[in-house]
Amino acid sequence: MDTDAFAAVHAAEWERLEHLSKQRRLSGPEADELVRLYQATAGHLSAVRTSAPDPHLVGRLSALLAQARGRVAGAHELRLSDVAHFLTSALPAAFYRVRWWTVGVMVVWVALAVAVGWWNAATPAAVAQLGPPRELQRYADEAFAAYYSNYPAPDFAAQVWTNNAWIAAQCIGLGITGVFPAYVLYANAVGVGQAAAIMATYGDLRVFFGLILPHGLMELTAIFVAGGTGLKLFWTAVVPGRRTRSRALAEEGRSLITVAVGLVLVLAVSGLVEGFVTPSGLPTAAKIAIGALVLAGYWAYTLVLGRRAVAAGETGDLAEDLAGHTLAQAG
C-alpha cells in the first residue's frame, strides 16, 4: 500500500470527520454522517495497520478516532462495576507487578537508615553536627513525641495524608528521571536514621520505635512502592524490552498511574493510624500490632488478589477501548 496515495484519497473524509467531531451541535443528518465517517475511518486505520503500518499515519488516525469516539459513544461514565474492577483487579495487579521493586527499595532503604543511625550514634562529632546539645535534648524529650499530638487527630491525619500522597505522586510522576525517587528515598532514610541516633543518644530508642512503627510500617511501605514504581518507569525507558520505547512507556505509565491512585487510598489508611493510633493512650504493643495488621492487609491484598489478577491477564493499564489504538509489533 502506498500510504501517501491512500492518505490523499481519503484526506477529505478525515478532515470532514475532524470538523464534525469538533462541532458543538449536530443536526440529524450530520450525526448520521459522523457515524458513517467514524466507521469508514476505523476501516482505514485497520487497513493501514495491516498492510502498511506507518507510525505517523496510525497515530494521526488513532487520535482522530479517539476524538470522534467521544461524540459517537459519549464520554465514559463511571459505574459501580468500574470501581469494583479497579479495587479487585486493576489496582492489586498494579501493586503486584511492582512488588519486587518495592522489596528491593525497602532493603536498600532499611540498610541505609540503619547505617546512618548507627554511625551517627557511635560518632559524637556526627551527632554534634545535627545541632546544639540543648536543642537535641529538647527534641528527644519533647519535640519528637509532641509532633504526633500537637494538632487535633483529624487535622493531623489529613495533613499527613496530603503530604505523603504528594510525595508518592512526585516519586511516580518524576520517576522517569531516575534521580528524583532515588533522592527522595535517600533523604528520607538519612532523616529517619539521624532521628533514631538523636533518640538513642539523648533519649530512649524505645520511644522512637513506639511512635514510628504503628503508622510507619504502612507509610514507609507506601513510599517504597512509590519509589520502586518510579524507578521501574525509569528502567522501562532504559530497557523497553521487545516493545518500542514509546509503547512501553505509554503502557507502563498508565498502569503506574493506577499505583499512584491506589497509594492515595493506602496513605489515607496510614494517615488515620498516625493521627488516631500513634498518639493514643493504647499500650505500645497494641499500637504496633495495629500497624502490623494494616501492613499485613496490604500485602495480602497485593499477593492474593494481585497474583490472581495478573494470572488472568490484568496489568493495571486502561482497557483497550480507553487506552487507544496501538501499533502491531512483531513477536
If asked whether residues 92 and 169 sit together in one domain, one would say: yes
Total count of domains within the chain: 2
Asked if 61 and 14 count as a contact pair (C-beta separation under 8 A), the reply is yes
If asked whether residues 23 and 138 sit together in one domain, one would say: no
The region of weakest confidence among 14-23, 177-186, 189-198 is 14-23
If asked whether residues 45 and 123 sit together in one domain, one would say: no
If asked whether residues 155 and 28 sit together in one domain, one would say: no
Asked if 74 and 21 count as a contact pair (C-beta separation under 8 A), the reply is no
158 located within any domain = yes
How much is the average pLDDT of 293-301? 96
pTM, entire model: 0.71
**pLDDT, tens digit (0-9, with 9 covering 90-100), for 143-176:** 888 888 776 777 767 777 777 888 888 888 788 8
Q: What is the pLDDT of residue 297?
A: 96
Alpha helix ranges (H) inside the chain: 3-22, 28-51, 55-73, 80-85, 91-97, 99-122, 124-128, 133-138, 144-146, 153-173, 180-202, 205-238, 245-272, 284-300, 306-311, 320-323
If asked whether residues 145 and 7 sit together in one domain, one would say: no
Q: CA 171, 226, 224 angle in degrees (round to 5)?
A: 120
If asked whether residues 195 and 293 sit together in one domain, one would say: yes
Residue 191 CB: number of other CB atoms within 10 A?
Answer: 12
Per the structure block, which three cell numbers stand in for 182?
532515588
329 located within any domain = no
Report percent pLDDT > 90 for the chain.
35
DSSP letter string, 173-190: HTGGGSSHHHHHHHHHHH
104 located within any domain = yes
13, 40, 73 — which closes off a domain?
A: 73
How much is the average pLDDT of 279-285? 91
**pLDDT, tens digit (0-9, with 9 covering 90-100), for 94-131:** 999 999 999 999 999 999 999 999 999 999 888 889 89
Q: What is the pLDDT of residue 85?
A: 86
267 located within any domain = yes
Q: How confident is the model at residue 236 (pLDDT cuts 50, 70, 90)?
A: confident
Q: What is the pLDDT of residue 202?
A: 92
If asked whether residues 242 and 283 sit together in one domain, one would say: yes
Q: CA 181, 109, 189 angle in degrees (round to 5)?
A: 80
Q: What is the pLDDT of residue 74?
A: 57
Q: What is the pLDDT of residue 1?
A: 65
Q: What is the pLDDT of residue 114?
A: 96
How much is the average pLDDT of 245-268? 82
Report the chain's mean pLDDT, rounded to a whole number.
85
If asked whether residues 274 and 137 sit together in one domain, one would say: yes
23, 49, 73 — which closes off a domain?
A: 73
Per-residue pLDDT at 320 exceeds 80: no
- CA 132 to chain CA mean position, Å: 39
163 located within any domain = yes
If asked whether residues 158 and 301 sit together in one domain, one would say: yes
Rounded CA gap, 270 and 220, in Å?
Answer: 9
How much is the average pLDDT of 244-265? 81
Q: State which residues form the domain around 184.
A: 81-323
**pLDDT, tens digit (0-9, with 9 covering 90-100), for 55-77:** 788 888 888 888 887 777 655 55
Q: How confident is the model at residue 298 (pLDDT cuts 50, 70, 90)?
A: very high
Per-residue pLDDT at 326 exceeds 60: no
317 located within any domain = yes
Q: What is the pLDDT of residue 79?
A: 67
Per-residue pLDDT at 322 exceeds 50: no
**Which residues are CB-contacts of 290 (< 8 A; sequence separation ≥ 6)?**
214, 273, 277, 282
Higher per-residue pLDDT: 248 or 296? 296
Rounded CA gap, 169 and 256, in Å?
Answer: 10
Higher per-residue pLDDT: 289 or 80? 289
If asked whether residues 185 and 96 sit together in one domain, one would say: yes
Can you tell me which residue has the cell 461524540? 71
37, 54, 73 — which closes off a domain?
A: 73
328 located within any domain = no
Q: CA 171, 177, 183 angle in degrees (round to 5)?
A: 55
Rounded CA gap, 23 and 143, in Å?
Answer: 61
Higher per-residue pLDDT: 47 or 307? 307
Per-residue pLDDT at 52 exceeds 80: no
Asked if 314 and 95 count as a contact pair (C-beta separation under 8 A), the reply is no
311 located within any domain = yes
If asked whether residues 97 and 17 sit together in one domain, one would say: no
If asked whether residues 227 and 309 sit together in one domain, one would say: yes
